[in-house]
Every structure is written in structure tokens, then in C-alpha cells.
């Protein structure tokens, strides 16, 4: 089981999504910014590091939004999604193919990683 963390970052009515690089597993699918928790790191520390590496921003990590377990053909992930705010910096595409701010109504317009589907349904429900 791979521990993975991700950030739900809101800006007004929109939240941040990132498109995976074409050459990686699940290439060009959309996801929340984040990544694997390294040995010795807390989930919060991992999320802050990943966002610095991938977007060049400093995050302030809040409460857990929700967590899911998903089995891909090549790995099983336990994904914890945290509420977070950008404390410093402007998101940059250091690793992703693209980054966008979308409203919950726009979720169906994007192809997301399968592990995110349940989370996106919950965001849609809460946005009502």
C-alpha cells in the first residue's frame, strides 16, 4: 500500500487541479497536487514538500477533507486529501502538463485519475 497525500486548494469558488505529465503512469489525467509520503515524513510534511517541488508554492495544510483507497493495476494507494491554502507563491507548472482552477460544476469536463472520482463526487455534493 502506497501512502499518498494531496491538496484541495480553493480560490474563491474554484479549486486547483493538475494534469499529469504524458510520460508518467496515468499520463494526461487530471489530479489534485500531491504525491507519495516518504519514510520519516508526516503526511502534512509530504504535502508541503510535494507542492514546493511541483508548483513552487508554500502551503498551509488544514484538516483532512477525506481519504480513499484505490487499487490500480500497478499499485494500491491510500490517498489522504487535505484542505490547504497557498501561503506563499503563485502556482507554476514545474512538473505538470497543465494546471487549472475549476468550479465543482466543471468536474465532468475533465478526465481525472480513478482514485479521485469518489472525492470529486463529494466535492460536487458539498458544493450542492
Give the pTM.
Answer: 0.95
- The answer to whether 126 and 8 have CB atoms below 8 angstroms apart is no
Q: Is residue 28 left, alpha or beta, with left meaning phi > 0 and alpha meaning psi from -120 to 50? A: left
**In the block, residue with C-alpha cell 507548472:** 93
**How many folded domains does the chain comprise?**
1
Q: Sort 59 into a burial class: Cβ within 10 Å, 0-12 / 13-18 / 19+.
A: buried
- The chain-wide mean pLDDT, for the chain, equals 96
pLDDT of amino acid 20: 96
Q: What is the CATH number of the domain that holds 111?
A: 3.90.79.10
**Span 110-125, average pLDDT:** 96
Express each pLDDT in 16-36 by its tens digit: 999 999 999 999 999 999 999
Which residue range forms the structural domain that includes residue 9?
2-127
67 pLDDT higher than 90: yes
Express each pLDDT in 70-87 by its tens digit: 999 999 999 999 999 999
Amino acid at each position: 500500500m502506497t501512502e499518498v497525500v494531496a491538496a484541495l486548494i480553493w480560490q474563491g469558488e474554484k479549486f486547483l487541479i493538475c494534469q499529469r505529465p504524458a510520460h508518467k503512469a496515468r499520463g494526461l489525467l487530471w489530479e489534485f497536487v500531491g504525491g507519495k509520503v516518504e519514510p520519516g515524513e508526516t503526511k502534512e510534511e509530504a504535502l508541503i514538500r510535494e507542492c514546493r517541488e511541483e508548483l513552487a508554492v508554500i502551503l498551509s495544510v488544514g484538516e483532512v477533507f477525506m481519504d480513499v483507497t484505490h487499487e490500480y493495476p500497478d499499485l494500491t494507494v491510500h490517498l489522504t486529501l487535505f484542505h490547504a491554502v497557498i501561503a506563499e507563491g503563485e502556482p507554476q507548472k514545474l512538473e505538470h502538463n497543465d494546471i487549472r482552477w475549476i468550479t465543482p460544476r466543471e468536474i465532468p469536463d475533465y478526465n481525472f485519475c480513478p482514485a479521485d472520482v469518489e472525492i470529486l463526487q463529494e466535492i460536487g455534493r458539498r458544493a450542492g
